[in-house]
Amino acid sequence: MDIEVRIRGLMMDPATNMPIIMLKDVGSDAVIPIWVGIFEANAIASEIEKISAPRPMTHDLARNMMRHLNSQLERVVITEIKDDTFYAVLWLCQQGEPVVIDARPSDAIALALRADCPIYVSEQVMQSAKLNPASSSEGPTADQLRGWLEGLNDEDLGRYKM
């Protein structure tokens, strides 16, 4: 079963200086962090803030291509975690037929924001990510990281809180 989530915030991990997307279960207080690259975080942040570039950026191009090819992004699903890497799929509908495309979660989220479609996380991923947040062996332990993430408030989440 897939769990609908929304972006709770976008912030920097103080240990790794990498962006983190905080996804919150709409039906509970569960939150999972997904570490992303700086360019992907910027693409997500620009859509959250409704900042448009003078020319289409990559995710805008993908959205425009879907529209012009008569397909619609219906949902994105973060489907699994393998070796601390999240995987996602795009669920499109083209001429009444479902089309499923592999995608990085950061790209899937950026497209979901642009297409105004729901974001889901598989139940298995939600349970794994809540219990074992991705972190390197050199960084903080999962318990330390979980404690830090649970202690965040709206101010900590910065200007990207949702």
Task: Name the strands in the sheet holding 97-103, side by side, starting at the edge strand that comes first in the sequence.
Answer: 31-35, 19-25, 2-12, 119-122, 71-82, 85-94, 97-103
Arithmetic mean of pLDDT, 31-51:
94
Domain of 115: which CATH number? 3.10.690.10
Angle in degrees, CA 90, 161, 41, rounded to 5: 50
pLDDT band at 23 (very low <50, low <70, confident <90, very high): very high
Arithmetic mean of pLDDT, 24-44:
93
pLDDT score for 129: 86
**How far is 142 from 97, CA to CA, in rounded Å?**
41
Domain count, the chain: 1
Arithmetic mean of pLDDT, 132-149:
50
Number of C-alpha atoms within 13 angstroms, CB side, residue 118?
9
What is the model's pTM? 0.80
- 21-to-10, 29, 93, 124 alpha-carbon distances in Å: 5, 16, 26, 18
Find all residues with CB under 8 Å of 118, minimum gap 6, and list them: 4, 75, 76, 112
Arithmetic mean of pLDDT, 123-129:
92
Domain residue limits at 110: 2-160
Arithmetic mean of pLDDT, 11-32:
92
